[in-house]
Amino acid sequence: MNWYLAVLKKYAVFSGRAQRAEYWYFTLFNMIFSISLSILDVILGFNTQSAFNLNGIYTLAVLVPSLAVGTRRLHDIGKSGWWQLIILIPVIGWILIVVWFATDSKEDNKYGENPKKYQY
């Protein structure tokens, strides 16, 4: 949960680097909250065509942090954040982005020091 909150504290920070744990824990909690809100929407009778949809509001609220942590994650392996657009290519783009997000940190690069450097 600390990783999720750390990403939200860096709401629109697109510079620097993010470890794999920061990205994947944010994604995990993001999915848990999204599924929970979808279930709550069904229970409360809100549907996707409704003007008020809890999951839709949540998704819009975390759109910028999701893009920011994705950019920082790509910076960690030495790639530009613009590479996130590769996800627009069906299947191949999705596979490639997952592989990149799962790749371990590289040594210091032009985006900053290795974030694992000060871990014990």
Sketch the domain layout of the chain as residue ranges.
Answer: 2-102
> Cα–Cα distance between 36 and 26 in angstroms, integer?
15
At 118 the pLDDT is: 64
The pLDDT-based confidence of 1 (bands split at 50, 70, 90) is confident
The pTM of this model reads 0.86
Percentage of the chain exceeding pLDDT 90: 60
Q: Phi, psi (5° rounding) for residue 109?
A: -140, -170
What residues are paired with 35 via a beta bridge? none
Q: What separation in angstroms does the CA of 25 have from each of 10, 30, 81, 86, 103? A: 15, 8, 19, 22, 15
What would the two tokens of residue 100 be?
Answer: 């990149």
> Cα–Cα distance between 88 and 54 in angstroms, integer?
26
The pLDDT-based confidence of 48 (bands split at 50, 70, 90) is low
What is the per-residue pLDDT across 62-108, written as a single tens digit (0 to 9) for each? Answer: 999 999 999 999 999 989 999 999 999 999 999 999 999 999 887 88
